[in-house]
């Protein structure tokens, strides 16, 4: 009799533990998805700013028509529904690059730089960039959390049974890394 109680007790404890671990894994996986979708939200906000930016700068920036056209094209491409995730990331990175170049080019137009409209827009853009970076960092934290759970004992066993896969971290793309070199951008403008 006592043996049966013992076995039942152990089974209940094991069951509860299994349930908790399973739930924690699902929670972590959903946190990653949620973080990913919030990056998307921020990126969409950035698209919304681009038409405003172009409208503000185009009357001043007579020499950078190509740059602005490129920006519009990239935005259209990123917004079109039938784009693969990989292509989306590339487009996104190119967009960041071109935006950075527009901002540097503004330096050549003191009137534009001082205009209230542009200053407001620049503030909004900085804000969005900061938000995007925060969202990416949140995503990376969530992914690290999930990846740790997938690899560490005891959750790794359940994760194996659930067939959970490790996710990739966001890393600064080649384009973004190049952007940091502001001097080369100045040179290309001369």
Partner 1 sequence: MTTDPAEQLQHLYETELRPVFEELEAERQALLQRLLISGLIALAATGLLVLLVLRWGFEISFFVIVAGITIWWIVNGGRVQRYRANFKNHVVGRLVRFFNATMRYEPNSGISQAEFSASEIFRQRIDRYSHEDLITGTIGATAFRFSEVHAEYKTESTDSKGRRRTTWHTIFKGIFYIADFNKHFNGRTIVQPDVAQSLLGGLGQMLQGVGRKLSFSGDELVKLEDPEFEKLFVVYSTDQIEARYILSTSLMQRLTQFRKTMGVDVSLSFVNSKINLAIATRKNLFEPPHLWQSTRLQLSDLQEYLQDIKLAEDVVNELNLNLRIWTKA
Interface residues toward partner 1, by CB under 8 A:
35, 38, 120, 122-124, 126-127, 130-131, 133-135, 137-138, 140-142, 144-145
Minimum gap (Å) between residue 58 Cβ and partner 1: 22
Going from the C-alpha of 39 to that of each of 61, 63, 114, the distances in angstroms are 30, 33, 31
The 3-state DSSP class for residue 44 equals: helix
CA dist 92 → 18, 85, 106 (Å): 41, 10, 21
Please, which residue, 83 or 104, has the CB nearer to partner 1? 104
- The torsion defined by the Cα of 23, 25, 29 and 31, in degrees rounded to 10, comes to 70
- Comparison of 76 and 120: residue with beta carbon closer to partner 1: 120
Least gap, CB of 76 to partner 1 (angstroms): 26
In whole angstroms, the minimum distance from the beta carbon of 169 to partner 1 comes to 11
Least gap, CB of 135 to partner 1 (angstroms): 5
Comparison of 13 and 169: residue with beta carbon closer to partner 1: 169
Per the CB < 8 A criterion, the answer to whether 142 and 32 are in contact is yes
Do residues 38 and 135 touch, judged by C-beta distance below 8 A? yes
Task: Rank residues 9 and 51 by Cβ distance to partner 1 and give the closer one.
Answer: 51
């Amino acid at each position: 009799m006592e043996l049966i109680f013992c076995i039942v007790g152990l089974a209940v404890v094991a069951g509860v533990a299994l349930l908790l671990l399973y739930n924690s894994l699902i929670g972590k996986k959903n946190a990653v998805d949620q973080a990913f979708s919030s990056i998307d939200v921020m990126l969409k906000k950035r698209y919304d700013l681009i038409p405003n930016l172009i409208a503000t700068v185009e009357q001043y920036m007579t020499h950078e028509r190509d740059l602005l056209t490129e920006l519009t094209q990239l935005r259209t491409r990123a917004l079109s529904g039938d784009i693969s995730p990989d292509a989306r990331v590339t487009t996104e990175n190119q967009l960041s690059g071109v935006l950075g170049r527009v901002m540097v080019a503004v330096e050549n137009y003191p009137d534009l730089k001082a205009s209230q409209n542009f200053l407001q827009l620049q503030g909004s853009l900085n804000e969005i960039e900061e938000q995007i970076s925060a969202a990416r960092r949140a995503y990376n934290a969530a992914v690290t959390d999930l990846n740790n759970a997938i690899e560490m004992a005891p959750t790794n066993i359940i994760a194996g049974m659930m067939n959970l896969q490790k996710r990739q971290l966001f890393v600064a793309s080649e384009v973004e890394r190049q952007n940091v070199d502001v001097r080369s951008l100045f040179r290309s403008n001369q």
